[in-house]
A and B are shown apart, each in its own frame.
Chain A
Amino acid sequence: MMLKATYFDGRSACAHPVHIWLANGLLHVQGDGVALSVPQQAVDWPERTRHGMRVAHFAQGGLVQSEDSAAWDAWAKDGGLVESPVVKMQQNWRWVAGSVALLVGLVMAVQQWGLPLAADALVAVTPPSVETALGESTLAAVDEVVMQPSRLPQDQQAQIRAAFAQTVGHQAAGSVRPWQLVFRKSRIGPNALALPGGTIIMTDEMVMLADGDTRLLSAVLAHELGHVQQRHGVRMLVQATALGTLSAVVLGDFSAVLAMVPVMLGQAHYSRQAERGADAYAVKVLKAASLSPALMVTLFDKLNARRAMGQSPDKPASDAGSTASWLGIAFSSHPQDAERIAFFQAAAH
């Protein structure tokens, strides 16, 4: 079967009208002053599209092209040229609809199960030294932005540390990861944070909120120890990186801003899961030390009272809403407070 086409020789821009046909694995091109045969494998064949011409490039330079796409496609099929399965998918609306469905399902599955599993595996192989280094740089960064040295007297710090060590002492020996407790005065109000590598920061404002009650503070620290125990710091980092990469692949070529949205939503989801895990661990530690999980409820009440006070008209509003929800591991200010209070109340009975 012959097809009318245009030939460019690759050396000049002059167009030559030609006829082309396929025979014995060769593409033959013939026209006025043009006669050549090119092995089929040395041709970069065009793919079928609804719009656009068909252009076949030769490896040694030069090309043939046709504006009549339908004629070309029929000619190629007749000549036995094989189409890539990808092209078949792209040109078939049923396959396309299937791809959309599959893609949505896949992204959801990756977000729900794939990333946490991958994070588990990566966290398991992360050496403690890496975690320590990460914790140190995070502490330095946090110190730089929101923290000042603690104003608490040394003996009160030692007292809180000792009380918590005693609470944790009821756990089986060797089952608890190493932890260090440091105190800081902060710009983020009452809070406690667990960093990768086992460092726990407690703010002076948290100690004041609890009126220095070491039982209440031990409850807070038990929750933070849950984060240390389950290595949430590295997990978060691994998950955020993986989610960011996935999101950038899917949405990045449109807008980097929009690509941030799934990352933030996914982070919120993982951070809620981490909070639940840490809460469950806190209950276990408190019960083993014969302390009531209801201590946490007292703490939530105090936090809420403080928040309500912050919103009264004679106080600036900026202080109340900004209790550091930007740190995923933060203790307070999560929207599902009610759910968590119910959890601790149930555990207390």
Chain B
Amino acid sequence: MTDISPAAPTVPAAMHHPVHVPSRFTKRMRIRFTGSGSEYFRIWIVNLLLTVVTLTLYLPWARARRLRYFMGNTLVGGQPLGFHGDPRKMFRGYLLVATFFALYSVAGKFSSTAGFIALLAVAALWPALFKSSLQFRLANTSWRGLRMGFSGSLGGAYRAMLPVFVPGLILVGAQSWGVDVAHPPQWYLTVSGVVGLSALLVSPWLYWNLKLYQHHHYTLGTLQTTFTASVGSFYRLSLKVLGLALLALVVPMALAIIAIAWWAPQGSWVPLLVSAVPLLMVLLMLVSIKPFAVSRLQNLVWSKTGSAELRFDSKLRFRSLLRLTVKNWLLIVLTLGLYWPFAAVAMTRLRLQAMVIKTRTDPNLLMAHVHATAVEAVGDAAGDFFGLDVGL
């Protein structure tokens, strides 16, 4: 009936312990992704056509179909996830967020005061949108008939996200109060320097704070996850990524300097090489740093997510992700973008199948948490519209 295989293949692990002292995560649930590139291509191209024909009004339906396909093909312990968000609800949210976003993007073009007010409005609304986005997505996702949920509070969302807006608000605010950026006064330079530096210093902490808010509040039935990664582990990872970025910056520079010194007499090569340097740098950054950061972050975040009954584990290898990223980029460029759905499926498969879930409880015994809350779809649209990655 269930596809959960005991960790020890010969003897059922539960036999080693009395039933009422379950101290080890003895059952492993593998995650399998059964989606296919060619099928997602068909879904994607029809979605795209309808989206363009309807002047993007079809987007919520396209999004619902995409989520249904990806979740329906994600098997956890042999049972699929289900997405049952109502596209009509998502449409309302889409309209609201699109209006909001249009107003925001236009405001800054007119005056810095309008830009400041718009940023203030985004800062004030964004955490609430983010929270309801998580809530909507999870409340409409189920596994074995049990609805998932998100139990984070509104206050928690503001505590987790408002600090992110502080540096921007200070700088844009100063401009709207009449600081002339072309001839900045000394105090403005000092303030921007301090703000920029401290933003850089606290960003790993901010990100940890955000992940804590997300991963501390996922629920399934009566289970709720906790997040046990330390701030220090986020700082260590940031340093590694920074180191790799510096390497990507230094190596092409050094190459260029050597090349310029070598070719200087010929002259005409120099501008070509000089313009190739940033390009090479960007390529290196894109190709290696993102897979590195993504794989390490996924492993860090998900290995530290779990509850007393259940733990996630993620072993996503940098090398596999790098290889797949390079392959995807090449094929997407060669096919002028038509390979994208195949790439999306392959990427999802690699990232999902690197994870396992260990539990103490037989999944058959999980009980649902009785709760009935109507969740608005606004947040979901915001989460997608602004490219926020919600979920795995």
Contacts and interface: CB of A to CB of B under 8 A. Distances in A.
B72 A52 contact: yes
Contacts of A52: 34-35, 69, 72-73, 80
B332 A65 contact: no
Interface stretch (B42-50, B161-169, B211-219, B297-305): B42-50
Contacts of B340: 251, 253-254
Nearest to B333: A258
Nearest to A106: B52
Contacts of B48: 99, 103, 249-250
B80 A62 contact: no
A8 B46 contact: no
Interface size class of A (residues with CB under 8 A): 35 or more
A14 interface: yes
Contact of B45 (A17, A100, A313): A100
Given A12-B365, A13-B365, A254-B340, 20 more contacts: A11-B145, A11-B370, A12-B368, A13-B364, A13-B368, A15-B79, A51-B34, A53-B72, A86-B65, A89-B46, A96-B42, A103-B48, A106-B52, A106-B53, A107-B52, A245-B56, A249-B52, A252-B387, A253-B344, A254-B337
Contact of A61 (B42, B56, B143, B145): B145
Contact of B145 (A44, A53, A62): A62
A254 B332 contact: yes
27 contacts: A10-B147, A11-B145, A11-B367, A12-B368, A13-B143, A13-B146, A13-B365, A14-B364, A15-B2, A44-B84, A49-B72, A51-B39, A52-B80, A57-B82, A57-B142, A61-B147, A63-B82, A91-B42, A106-B53, A250-B48, A253-B340, A253-B344, A257-B286, A313-B267, A317-B271, A318-B271, A321-B271
Contacts of B56: 245, 249
Interface of A: 8-15, 17, 44, 46-47, 49-53, 55, 57, 61-63, 65, 86, 89-91, 93, 95-96, 99-100, 102-103, 106-107, 110, 133-134, 137, 143-144, 245-246, 249-254, 257-258, 313, 317-318, 321
A250 B364 contact: no
Contacts of B80: 52-53, 55, 65
Interface in B45-86: 45-46, 48-53, 56, 59, 61, 65, 68-69, 72-73, 79-80, 82, 84
Given A52-B80, A133-B110, A15 B68 contact: no
Contacts of B365: 12-14
